[in-house]
Amino acid sequence: MKSKISLLIFLLSLVLYACQPKPVPVSGDTLLDDDFSTGINGWTTLVNDKGVMGYNAGGFRFYIEDAGLNYWATPNLSFSDVRIEVDSLRYVGPESNRIGIICRHRDDLNYYFFVISTDGYYAVGKVKDGEQVLLEQEAMQYSSAIKTGIAINHLRADCQGSTLRFYVNDAPLSLVEDFDFAEGDVGLLAGTFEEGGLDVIFDDFVVYQP
């Protein structure tokens, strides 16, 4: 009889625990932390004759063989307001490129992006229904805050409400408003323009509650 009572108490405690409301994240809480040393977070990977996207050498690597091609990867999660930070390094390939962060990725046809090129330019934009547009700029703009050549750039993107902010190496570069996407996945992207052969590695990807 005593063992049955103990079992009932144990089961009741499990039910009560399951019914407890999840704690609401507060500003500064870490929502996701990935140094890419393992594949535990299940990021999108790809290998084909046009390039490679996946875990490599303790980071997350994009190799893009062809010109005019974009690759992006997500961990298949969902967030609303986030602050995303990551380190990026281009060590082979053209300096005219796209390297950056994605937020509110609803699917491959709808998301926000924040990118730099390693010849010193940046942009914030979105893909909506498959159509890519820049937000409050007509073309990528130059910033001396971006380290050119073979150098590590620390990227930060804040997606909070309708406000999108982009920082590179702690310098604020862009602040725009857009109301299309309220939540979605986070991610990384890399791409080429007129020349292929781009090799980029990302490390220390962290998502915070803003």
Domains of the chain, residue spans: 28-208
Question: With 80 as the cut, is the pLDDT of residue 22 above it?
Answer: no
CA gap 107, 37 in Å, rounded: 26
CA gap 42, 145 in Å, rounded: 32
Cα 3 → chain centroid: 51
CA gap 202, 192 in Å, rounded: 16
pLDDT per residue as tens digits for the range 160-210: 999 999 999 999 999 999 999 999 999 999 999 999 999 999 999 999 999
Question: With 90 as the cut, is the pLDDT of residue 84 above it?
Answer: yes
Cβ partners under 8 Å of residue 141, min gap 6? 121, 122, 123
Q: What integer pLDDT is reported at residue 41 of this predicted model?
A: 85
- pLDDT band for position 13 (cuts 50, 70, 90): low
Task: Provide the CATH topology of domain 28-208.
Answer: Jelly Rolls (2.60.120)
